[in-house]
Structure 1
Amino acid sequence: MPSEHLNRRDFLKIGALAGAAAAVTALPLRAHAAPATVTFDECVAMAPQDMADASGPVSASWQSILQAAGQIRNPGLRAKVLAVLDNPAPTVTKSIGTSEKKAIYKELSAKGLIQDVSEADFLPPVSGAATAPQPFWSAPGSGYGSHHAYPGGLCTHTGLNTRVSLALYDGYREVYDYMLDRDVVIAAQLLHDLHKPWVFQWGADGESRTELSLAGTGEHHPLGVAESIARKVPAEVVVAQACAHNHPRTDKDEAQVVGWLTAASIIAGVDPVRYGLLAADGKTLPLPRRQEGFVTHLGDHDWVLTVPANHWVLPVVEKVAVRDYKLSRNDLKAKPFKQFRNYVYSQATIMGLYETYAAKGEDELVRTIHTIVTPA
């Protein structure tokens, strides 16, 4: 990140040491520095981590994420969350060799939890279980055509979601005198997309890996739940984390969450009932159902606007790329445009660009893009 911001590892240490003291501190409001202006050639040559490093919004979100983690009162849970943020490695694969992968795939298939994905493609590429393919702070928030699809998008997505979850926590406390477990609310939201750095690895062409399906949802979700199990995160946090993609309001909804917990348990090699993830019959969440999962689910709705915002902004960005940066129509499907798009998005965010477009018009959006990448 830019030099004026706290070093990541220093901030991790602060969070680990001062978490309990920071528990009552509100998350900071940060003014974003002006985007770092680069030439088009510089933009095309940049690595995803460099784009994320140059971004004020990403840096501010990363700091708010680490501060939120530092507010977790339980020292053991706080340490586990900070360890994931520092290195979201797929440690769950440590004991998954060729034969284990075959057995896991077979069990998932038998239970209808994996379909239309071959055994060979099951699990994203991994070079080792000890190190993440990329840092948490450089990963996109979703697939290339979806929400927060730029280097650092996972940070802005998680940062916003965590603020929303904490606002919901405060609302339930103030209106209903309903004391949710604040540690669970924070930890579940911070961990809910922990394996997007593994799933959405950046390719040489500037596009992230295409996500496959697992247990009826994007594979990052049950894989992230499996990782939390592998790292021995408490059951109540894991259950709330699993609720990010749905809530147990109806039998049908709850069956989806049970499916994700079941798939994650198979991958992690644990009994979900014994771990405390499911009720004794294995058909529902532990009873009575806790509300932290609902808060995690409600907090994970930044995508509702950011997906269409991307679709509405992208045509203008494409038009500007052809007109002002001399790209061909064919370039719009190739690395030159993907890198241009990634850098502009990472510096201003999709939401920032769309707000400019919606409130001030296309001319101001074009001017903003020109301040980020110098026109040809």
Structure 2
Amino acid sequence: MNTDCSRRTFLLGGLATGAVLMAGSGLLKPGRAEAAPAEAVMLEECVSMTPEEMAKRSAYVMAAWRYLQDSAAELKDPALRATVEAILKNPAPLLAKNDEKAIMTELKAQGLLKADAKALFPECADAAQSPQPFYTAPGSGWNSHHSYPGGLVTHTALNVASCKALYDNYVKVYGLELDRDVVLASQMLHDLHKPWVFQWQKDGSCRTEQTLAATGEHHTLSVAESLRRGLSPELCVAQACAHDHPGSEASEKTVVGWLKAAAVINGKDAATIGLLEKDGKTLPMPRRIEGFVTHLADHDWVISVPAAQWTVSALRQVAARVYGLKESDLKARPFNQFRNYVLSQKTAMQLYGAYAAKGMDGLTAEVAQVVRA
């Protein structure tokens, strides 16, 4: 989630269960050889690397990427599994084939797009091909969580692990009968269009996200893409709930807006195709629990947003003091690439953990493991 596209700050303490599950769910385990960072590189090498080179060099990113593929294989429905696997392999913006001008006119008429908006879709050379692989995309905008090559897969992996734990807990504690395919797939796809929205720029930063239906455009576009690919209304509704939940009138209204926009983008009416109740004012009744589970599992950002911001601020000091970057470098590609490489190899969360526990000395030591002074 971008800090400039806020959503309800809501978290239950039980989400910690997901973090515990990570140690035994196929992700990196402490002490495993593959968790060791790659050989440290010189600053000049960081500056010249591509996002793909950084992501592939990261043990954490690649482990998270494998975990997501393994998780997709757990889906029981063959058609759903095939669609999710295809999206992970190539999150192509098929939506870009639609009539953008006509869609914008309707969205503006319904108050779902700003009146002065000049475009709806981010640039793409080919609607059949993602601008970048899923595993190279950042997890959010430049000043937000997991904003480094591979950040999307580390963010999504944590959320998926949390999602599995929450599903298990609700089933075991309350005896609920939930659709695990819906819970799992909606979480895996909740940010599917971040590779399209957050394209890497020449200066090492990523594209600035625009607003659509009162939230960051990646969210509404992701739901619209799931609808475009024929996924069920139940899954699309649960996916929309990632950013907010229908537990209050105000919150449900925002989810309704996202679903309406997703339907308009596909030339459909949200109520008619089962995304909303017939009156178009609420989610289908009675409201399903799967959407709440998806929402709760999408709370990695609660700590990862400030952790990333605090870590990057400290990295500027390290870059200047230890690596000799000048003031002009700190606002341009040299620092952007330095931060991208360090964050991708260690993850922003691991770096902040070291910083929180051991201060600047701890952070500097972590950086030295991946970039030679």
Normalization by structure 1: what TM-score? 0.90
Q: Distance in 2 between matches of 1:366 and 1:90?
A: 40
| Matched-pair contact (CA < 8 Å) for 1:158–1:190 | yes
Counterpart residue number, 1:357: 355
* 4+ runs deviating over 6 angstroms: none
Q: Distance in 1 between matches of 2:142 and 2:115?
A: 21
Q: How does 1:107-146 map to 2 (within 5 A)?
A: 107-115=106-114, 118-119=117-118, 121-146=119-144
Counterpart residue number, 1:328: 326
Q: Distance in 2 between matches of 1:151 and 1:29?
A: 18
Which digits, 9 at most, give the CA deviation of each residue in 1:41-74, with x for residues without a partner?
1110000011000011111111111111111101
Q: Distance in 2 between matches of 1:210 and 1:316?
A: 23
Shift of 1:116: 6.1
Shift of 1:274: 2.7
Count of aligned residue pairs for this structure pair: 345
Shift of 1:345: 0.2
Which digits, 9 at most, give the CA deviation of each residue in 1:313-347, with x for residues without a partner?
12221111111111111211100000000000000
Counterpart residue number, 2:209: 211
**1:39 aligns with one of 38, 42, 52:** 42
| Matched-pair contact (CA < 8 Å) for 2:146–2:348 | yes
**1:78 aligns with one of 73, 76, 81:** 81
Q: How does 1:1-376 map to 2 (within 5 A)?
A: 27-31=25-29, 32-36=34-38, 37-94=40-97, 96=98, 100-115=99-114, 118-119=117-118, 121-375=119-373
Taking a change above 3 Å as real, the CA distance of residues 152 and 29 of structure 1, as seen in their structure-2 partners, is: closer
Q: Distance in 2 between matches of 1:30 and 1:305?
A: 20
| Matched-pair contact (CA < 8 Å) for 2:28–2:35 | no
| Matched-pair contact (CA < 8 Å) for 1:240–1:292 | yes
Q: Distance in 2 between matches of 1:320 and 1:351?
A: 17
- Determine which structure has greater relative contact order: mean sequence separation of CA pairs < 8 Å that are 6+ residues apart, divided by chain length: 2
Q: Distance in 1 between matches of 2:135 and 2:27?
A: 19
Counterpart residue number, 2:14: none
Identical residues among aligned pairs (%): 54
Shift of 1:360: 2.7
Aligned partner of 2:60: which letter? P
Shift of 1:371: 1.3
Counterpart residue number, 1:11: none
| Matched-pair contact (CA < 8 Å) for 1:27–1:67 | no
| Matched-pair contact (CA < 8 Å) for 1:139–1:200 | yes
| Matched-pair contact (CA < 8 Å) for 2:108–2:115 | no
Which consecutive unaligned segments of at least 5 residues does structure 1 have? 1-25
Q: Distance in 2 between matches of 1:164 and 1:116?
A: 38
Counterpart residue number, 2:20: none
Shift of 1:29: 3.8
Aligned partner of 1:197: which letter? P
Give the stretch that moved more between structures: 277-286 or 26-35: 26-35
Q: Distance in 1 between matches of 2:262 and 2:365?
A: 46
Q: Distance in 1 between matches of 2:320 and 2:327?
A: 7
Which digits, 9 at most, give the CA deviation of each residue in 1:129-177, with x for residues without a partner?
1000000000000001100000000000000000111111011011101
| Matched-pair contact (CA < 8 Å) for 1:318–1:332 | yes
Shift of 1:30: 2.2
Q: Distance in 1 between matches of 2:25 and 2:126?
A: 35
| Matched-pair contact (CA < 8 Å) for 1:242–1:257 | yes
Shift of 1:117: 5.0
| Matched-pair contact (CA < 8 Å) for 1:240–1:294 | yes
Aligned partner of 2:73: which letter? G
Normalization by structure 2: what TM-score? 0.90
Shift of 1:195: 0.2
Shift of 1:27: 2.7
